[in-house]
Amino acid sequence: MTLTTTSYAILGQLALKPWTMYELAAEMRRNLHFFFARAESQVYAEPKRLVAAGLAKAEVERIGSRPRTEYSITPAGRKALKEWLETPISKPAQLEFEALLRVIYAPFGRDECLEASLHNVRDHIDETLLVLADRISDEYKEGRAPFQRYAQYRCLMHDFLLSYGQLLHDWAERSLERVSRWPDMTPEERHTEAVTTFHRRRPRRKKR
Amino acid sequence: MTLTTTSYAILGQLALKPWTMYELAAEMRRNLHFFFARAESQVYAEPKRLVAAGLAKAEVERIGSRPRTEYSITPAGRKALKEWLETPISKPAQLEFEALLRVIYAPFGRDECLEASLHNVRDHIDETLLVLADRISDEYKEGRAPFQRYAQYRCLMHDFLLSYGQLLHDWAERSLERVSRWPDMTPEERHTEAVTTFHRRRPRRKKR
DNA sequence: TTCTTCATGTAATTAGTTACATGATTGA
DNA sequence: TCAATCATGTAACTAATTACATGAAGAA
């Protein structure tokens, strides 16, 4: 019985507070989903494994005749979580971005298809950014937002997520702008512009 | 027999030029890996499926007694690729970023662990950025770089990848800087700084 | 001669997804 | 009384990974 990163993702949630699996599933959709997407069925399966491993415990109560199981972390669970945090990251940030496939294979289709893909990226991320901004202002609004006391840590995450969203938006936007100018350009002009992009745009590297 | 996005990723490569699976695997590692990582075994399995579907053909030649199979796209393959490009993107950009889990669960471990995670992120992306910058200057250097004639499309991808790498680097850097100041701050100061971050930092939204 | 690269896989496993099933409770 | 939400799953599948196997050719 070995724990996966998914297990620790759930275990960490239980460390924050006890949840029913239903609440947990909703919270995953609300938050972790942005950088650690998993199917609901996983969320329902994982706590049972944690209980089996002694890292969580389940308390059944009843609302009327409907059972409701609250999962909470055990001392052993806290210890396991702490130990996991001591281990090095198991996998570097991993991106899966179908739109970039569309981009590099765009010469085999119509340029309108490329534009459609870029619109798709922009629209989708704009929606996500709206939702995300809501979540974040929820968390920091005065009053007892659920995880106020972890603000110093969570703000690092929110900083990343907003920056990342902004990056996607900006990239889609400037790419669309670029593509829109192609019809008025000769193939040579287009090529020259492309090549010179990377004479200008050197990656700025910081000294360490 | 339905094709997955992975299938089209390979099919697109074949549209660029013919490859042996070995070369293809290397090329995937070199390029697509940054935004569409797949195990080698997948790369070896996929062309056979494409051949079975009539979208690619295999030509066996011999170097001495060693067989060498070159895969190339068929007209039907070009058609299928074109049609795929007409379809909407099947999945939005998907990020899997374990470091953010470490960040939000950091209150349950030592702050040194958080710093280690952030270092890990920064070091890893710095390495990647070096490799990536090399690849890119390779592609645009005068002479017959393999995909020069697709420069106008490829530069959009490179723009994204560099921006994304830079984002990871910058985020890790500024987060490290922030964490390094914690030891000299009271818990209240840390909390206040965190909360005020998101009064200042509103996501800039563009009008559409 | 020995190491590396070229070249192509298979076997076993597993993590994870999709789609569906069920029924109770709450609010309009 | 009807829809939405609460609450918890299971069955079937499949895409994908890990780890290993094999052997020839070319370079040092």
Question: Which of A165, A149, A129 minimizes the C-alpha distance to B163?
Answer: A165
Cα(A208)–Cα(B19) distance, integer angstroms = 40
Chain A positions touching B108 (Cβ under 8 A) are 12, 15, 78, 81-82, 85
The answer, yes or no, to whether residue A163 has pLDDT greater than 60, is yes
A162 pLDDT tier (thresholds 50, 70, 90): very high
Inter-residue contact B129 to A205 (CB < 8 Å): yes
Cβ–Cβ under 8 Å, residues A38 and A6? yes
Please give the pLDDT value at position A156. Answer: 97
- Return the residue of B nearest to A142 by Cα: B195
Residue A93: which of B86, B97, B154 has the nearest Cβ?
B97
The burial class, CB within 10 Å (0-12 / 13-18 / 19+), for B59 is: exposed
Cβ-defined contact of B12 to A151 (cutoff 8 Å): no
Q: Residue A138's pLDDT band (boundaries 50, 70, 90)?
A: confident
A50-64 pLDDT, tens digit each: 999 999 999 999 888
> 10 Å Cβ neighbour count for B189?
13
Q: What is the pLDDT of residue B65?
A: 83
Question: Which residues 38-67 of A have a C-beta within 8 angstroms of B?
Answer: none
Query: Is B94 close to A93, i.e. CB distance below 8 A?
Result: no
Q: Do B93 and A96 touch (CB under 8 A)?
A: yes
For nucleotide D14, give the residue with the nearest CA to its C1'.
Answer: B4
Judged against a pLDDT cut of 60, whether residue B204 lies above it is answered with no
CB proximity A121 to B under 8 Å:
yes
Q: What is the pLDDT of residue A21?
A: 95
3-state SS, residue B116: helix
pLDDT tens-digit profile of A100-111?
999 999 999 999
* Strand D nucleotides in reach of protein CB atoms, 7 A cut-off: 6-11, 15-19, 23-26
User: What amino acid occupies position B82?
Assistant: K
Give the best residue of A13, A31, A46, A156 to mutate against chain B (max B CB count within 10 A): A156
Q: What is the pLDDT of residues B94-139, one digit of tens each?
A: 999 999 999 999 999 999 999 999 999 999 999 999 999 988 888 8
**Look-up of token digits 């042996």:** B20
What is the average per-residue pLDDT within B65-88?
Answer: 95
C-alpha–C-alpha distance, residues A103 and A1, integer Å: 42
Question: Tokens 């299928």 — which residue?
Answer: B80
As given in the structure block, the two tokens for residue A207 are 């000294």
What angle, 0 to 180 degrees and rounded to 10, lies between the N-to-C axes of helices B40-52 and B5-16? Answer: 80
What is the spatial distance between Cα B45 and Cα A77, in angstroms, rounded to a whole number? 41
pLDDT of residue B191: 92
- Please report the pLDDT score of residue A142 as a whole number: 66
Residue A111: C-alpha distances to residues A107, A116, B71, B82, B93 (Å): 8, 9, 27, 11, 21
Instruction: State yes or no: pLDDT of B208 exceeds 50.
Output: no
Tell me which DSSP letter residue A31 carries: T
Whether residue A96 has pLDDT greater than 50: yes
Crossing angle of helices B151-181 and B111-140, in 10° steps, is 160
At residue A89, φ and ψ (nearest 5 deg) are: -55, 135
pTM metric for this prediction: 0.93
**A163 close to A156: Cβ distance less than 8 angstroms:** no
Residue A16: CB partners within 8 Å, gap ≥ 6?
Answer: A146, A147, A150
Compute φ and ψ for A18, nearest 5 degrees. -75, 145
Task: Give the model's pLDDT for residue B205.
Answer: 54
* Closest B-chain CA to A203: B162
The arithmetic mean of pLDDT across residues A71-89, rounded, is: 97
Nucleic chain C: which protein residues 3-42 of A have CB below 7 A from it? 4-6, 37-42
The answer for A 87-116 residues in CB contact with B (under 8 A) is 88-110, 113-114, 116
Q: For residue A15, give the nearest of A84, A92, A67 by alpha carbon.
A: A84
- Specify the 3-state DSSP secondary structure of A65: coil
B207 pLDDT more than 50: no
DSSP A73: E
CA angle, B41 as apex, B40 and B42 as ends, to 5°?
A: 90
